[in-house]
Amino acid sequence: MIRTLLILFVLSLLTPAGFCAEQSFDLAVYPTVAWQGKVVAVRLISAESVSEVSGSFLGNKFNCYRSGDDYQGVVGVPIDQKVGHYDLKLFITKNDGTKTEISKKMKVWETRFPFSRFWLKPARNKLRARNIINNEWAEIEQVLQVEGQEKLWQGKFSWPVKARVSQGFGHREIINGKRAGNHRGLDIAVISGTKIIAPNSAKVVFAKRLKAFGGTLVLDHGQGIHTLYFHLSKLIAKVGDEVGKGELIALSGNSGISSGAHLHWGMSAHNLRVDPLQWTKYEI
């Protein structure tokens, strides 16, 4: 008798009990806490066939893409998002054209961003003029807003160059004694001329020498995910190139707004800057 009950219990665990008519959809997130400056990977598990899925979280909209039987998406958490509980919503268009939405309460939690102080010589400091930065950033943003449908990256990202981190993501910068903004990338201390590799498969969508950001490359990893490389001394990959993980793309340098030789490595999820380190530690 006990044996029969045990078998029935195990069988009940194996049956997808949640998938009755009202609950055809389930939403899984990873990690389960939304940290400031990091991303959340979203997965829609569906018992029905659907034709389109998109999402919204903290005012950021994102597309979800088919992955096997499920739909997956990635959304970033702004660095300055107030700690609290917020709805993550998915908008689902079913195959018959009807629409539905599901949501999950997510906790946004604090990431500690230390202060970092550095000095810029007058000639470098001049490059911080609003009009220079705004114009150059507008140019970069044009490629960050283009979302390729195909997922080009696979597995964890490797470091574009492995060396000491001289300034982490989100650090609160004090430049020449004055409070500036938060650092939107990861600075890796390497001497000029160090080889920089693609941390994952991608297409090169931007390669240009800029004043503020110096030698600049942007890789498009597909589905709204881009990586950025600033202060380069030599651009090796060209716009339109398809690069594989580990392929040489540039040489590091000290061009643009820089207080010493290093690589600035940025990561963008649907045009929101997020911490690249999360992508090197976890498969997203």
Query: Which positions touch Zn ion (CB under 5 A)?
Result: 185, 187, 264
Nearer to Zn ion among residue 72 and residue 166 (C-beta): 166
Residue 70 CB, shortest distance to Zn ion, in Å, is 36
User: Of 18 and 181, which has the nearer Cβ to Zn ion?
Assistant: 181
CA distance 14 to 97: 31
Separation between Cα atoms, residue 178 and residue 118, nearest integer Å? 10
Least separation in angstroms between residue 167's CB and Zn ion is 6
Closest approach, Cβ 191 to Zn ion, in A, equals 16
Picking from 106, 90, 92, 87, the residue whose alpha carbon sits closest to that of residue 30 is: 106
Q: Least CB distance from residue 184 to Zn ion, whole Å? A: 8
Q: Which one, 185 or 253, has the nearer CB to Zn ion?
A: 185
Q: Nearest approach, Cβ of 125 to Zn ion (angstroms)?
A: 15
Residue number, nearest CB to Zn ion:
264
